Amino acid sequence: MMKAVAKVRIISPLQVCRKHANWVPPTPPSSPTFGNPCLDLFFRLVEPNTPVKRQANLNYLNQFLPLAWSHNPLTTLKLICNLHYDPHGPGKEHAQGFNSAASWLHHNHPKTLVCNLPAIAAGFRSFEKVLVILYRILEGKDPHYSITLLTEAIEETEDKIAMAKKALDRYERDPHYRFLHDRVSDLFADCLKSDIENFKELKQKKSQSQSDDDDHNYCLELTRAARWCPHVDSLYDCTTLLSESIAKKIFPRISYQGFEENEADHADRARQLLMKEVLLPLEAPLEEQSGYQFEWRTNHRASCPDRKYLEEVKAGGKSKIEAGAMLPHKIIEYVYDCDELRHVAELQWKVMVEDVYLKQCKFRNCLAICDVSGNMMRVPMDVSVALGLLVSELNQEPAWKGKVITFNRNPQLLAIQGDDLRSKCAFVRRMDSQEWHCKVDFQKVFDLILEAAVNGNLRPEQMITKVFVFTIYFDFDEISANQWETDYEAIKSKFKEKGYGNVVPHLVVWNLSQDKSTQAVPCTQPGVTMLSGFITNNLVESFLDNDGDIFPDHVMEAALSPRKYQSLVVVD
């Protein structure tokens, strides 16, 4: 008799089938849409963490791309490029999404894709992505290996001839692929020619120099084309025949006294010269430089613009201060971390408050709840503290001016203490509840506001209009200690009972998390606006310019506002 099994649990066949590649989960999201396909693309598409979610995500992308393009082609093009990883900005880490969207562009708007290849290679730091696009169009899938491995030379294999025949056949019969292939080779050829000319010119200048001390005065401007150009006979070259196309454009066919070399001889000679006279000479200067110092024609040794500005102010006196030159959280960086510029940063803050926001009556009758707990990283912490301080200083009513609310279950309405900006920042930072994941009792928050208004005999028009919550949590249930719908009804009843009618402060929760995988959803909570977005100067500016009335479209516009997006164009 068979021994009895200790425990049996029946599972759904769907749970098993999801493990198979042929199983495709439903694509529509369960949460509400924004009513704008561009906003849906922007907020919904984040890098998934499981194969099932990844496939659903790609299906969603393919479903909404045509809708978004019909709604606004240029914005959709920017959103496609926004899927590309940017370690220093609001770009997302969704490589498969970008590759899939680029394929969609090739099949539906091939001229637009081709015209934007230089912008993708330059503004988005990605010659690699250009190679991936061409490979994916040819093979119908993303490369199994990194492009770094694919571009390195490999030993002769039987498959190499078959690969070359496949690439040549596609090139000859598919005009759209041929157009893309030619423009990719043009891009590399143009950049390599410029790079090697700059290299030779600098080499000549150094040879003519009288002293080695002059070396630091020279600046070699290079792209990274040589770093990503496929090596001759590499796997990528065998797959696409790209290096041959690049080589022949840099080294054209020889014609001498009526003699013209044949195609095969030209290809062999050009490929050898590409390696010997271009790629190999450019290896050394590229390897010597770390990071992006010589990439994208940017000299990263230049001083930070904010620091340079403050140094100029310090040298020139108060007349040099430009009220709107720096954002609040950038100012407090120098108050904390730069003793030699702390005084001028304090002056910058004072002028900013007086000449910009007070004169424009910005953020009048608003309060801030600042999350300064241990889970707040440096940038979110600086933004939370800076905006909390700014909002407190812009209030006109004595009941609200210079006040801030603590982020915990037993909130307090505190008057910020300190004689200067640094001490005030320190005071706000010390309001930490010491709880790693604290929640806020919002009914108590509104009780504090109502009590202060009643004690100060404030009229309804003097009541707080907005309460800003600066935190790193997006889900409202994560930070609310109680059921908000129940709290909100009680809050409205209390305000009405005290003679304030429907004048109930609006709650604005800003998720300051630097996590690019955050997925926003339209807020369904009454009296609450949820804001989420990777912190950029543009987003903070939008928040300040709009008096805190910032919505999903503002977040998307801020993410797509950097200069690199402005070079993108729609042509078909």
The helix/strand/coil state of 234 is: strand
pLDDT for position 256: 55
Model pLDDT, residue 30: 46
Place of tokens 């905006």: 387
pLDDT the model gives residue 521 = 52
So where are the chain's domains? 27-143, 144-175+185-205+218-302, 305-564
Q: Exposed/middle/buried for 207, CB within 10 Å: 0-12, 13-18, 19+?
A: exposed
Q: Residue holding tokens 């006294």?
A: 257
Phi, psi of 349 (to 5 degrees): -60, -45
Kind and range of the H or E element at 529? strand 528-532
**Residue owning tokens 């100029």:** 312
> Which of 118, 271, 239 has the alpha carbon at shortest distance from 183?
118
3-state SS class at 233: coil
What SS3 class is residue 511?
A: strand
Query: What are the pLDDT digits (tens) for 406-444?
Result: 998 899 999 999 999 999 999 999 887 555 457 889 999
Q: Which of 101-115, 256-270, 548-562 has the lowest mean pLDDT?
A: 256-270
Strand partners of residue 470: 370, 510
User: Distance between alpha carbon 55 and the CA centroid of its chain, in Å?
Assistant: 23
Of the listed ranges 8-22, 304-318, 348-362, the one predicted with least confidence:
8-22
Band of the pLDDT at 245, cuts 50, 70, 90? Answer: very high
- Element (H or E) spanning 178, and its range? helix 175-208
SS3 of 432-454: the string is: CCCCCCCCECHHHHHHHHHHHHH
**Which residue did the predictor score with more confidence, 302 or 263?**
263
Outline where 209-258 has alpha helix (H): 225-228, 235-240, 242-250
The token duo for 327 is 């954002």
107 or 533, which is more confident?
107
Give the CATH fold of the 305-564 domain.
Rossmann fold (3.40.50)
- 368: pLDDT strictly greater than 80: yes
Dig out the tokens for 154 from the structure: 């490999």
Q: Would you state the pLDDT for residue 274? A: 93
Q: Percent of the chain beyond pLDDT 90? A: 35
Compute the distance between CA of residue 528 and CA of residue 479 in angstroms, rounded to an integer. Answer: 13
With vertex at residue 108, the alpha carbon angle to CA 104 and CA 110, rounded to the nearest 5 degrees, is: 95
Average pLDDT over residues 348-352: 92
- With beta carbons less than 8 A apart as the criterion, state whether 377 and 369 touch: no
- At residue 460 the predicted structure's pLDDT band, cuts being 50, 70 and 90, is very high
Q: Per the structure block, which two tokens stand in for 497?
A: 């009972």
Q: What is the pLDDT of residue 12?
A: 28
Distance (Å, rounded) from C-alpha 395 to C-alpha 401?
A: 5
Average pLDDT over residues 78-92: 73
Q: Which residue has the higher pLDDT, 146 or 544?
A: 544
User: What CA–CA distances, in Å, run from 66 to 30, 101, 140, 353, 517?
Assistant: 20, 10, 20, 45, 23
Min mean pLDDT across 40-44, 293-297, 394-398, 471-475 is at 293-297
Provide the token pair at 508.
């604005």
Q: What is the pLDDT of residue 543?
A: 87
pLDDT in tens, 95-151: 888 889 999 999 999 999 999 888 888 876 678 888 989 999 998 887 766 665 555
Query: pLDDT by residue (tens digit) across 499-531?
Result: 999 999 999 988 887 665 555 555 667 888 887
- Taken in order 514, 520, 522, 524, the sign of the CA dihedral is negative
Model pTM?
Answer: 0.78
Condensed to tens digits (0 to 9), the pLDDT of residues 184-220 reads 999 999 989 998 998 898 888 878 776 655 555 667 8
144's CB contacts (< 8 A; 6+ apart) are none
Average pLDDT, the chain: 80
Cα distances from 227 to residues 143, 144, 224, 278, 286, in angstroms, run 18, 20, 5, 11, 7
Name which of 418, 419, 416, 411 is nearest 435 in CA terms: 411
Confidence of residue 27 (pLDDT cuts 50, 70, 90): very low
Whether residue 32 has pLDDT greater than 90: no
Alpha carbons 141 and 130: distance in angstroms, whole number: 14
Give the span between the Cα atoms of 280 and 175, in whole angstroms: 33
Tracing tokens 């304090």 back to the chain, one arrives at 346
Check whether 222 has a pLDDT greater than 70. yes
Burial 417-444 (b: 16+ CB within 10 A, else e): eeeebeebbebbbebbbeeeebbbbbbb
Poorest-pLDDT segment among 236-250, 262-276, 363-377, 476-490: 476-490
pLDDT tens per residue across span 492-504: 999 999 999 999 9
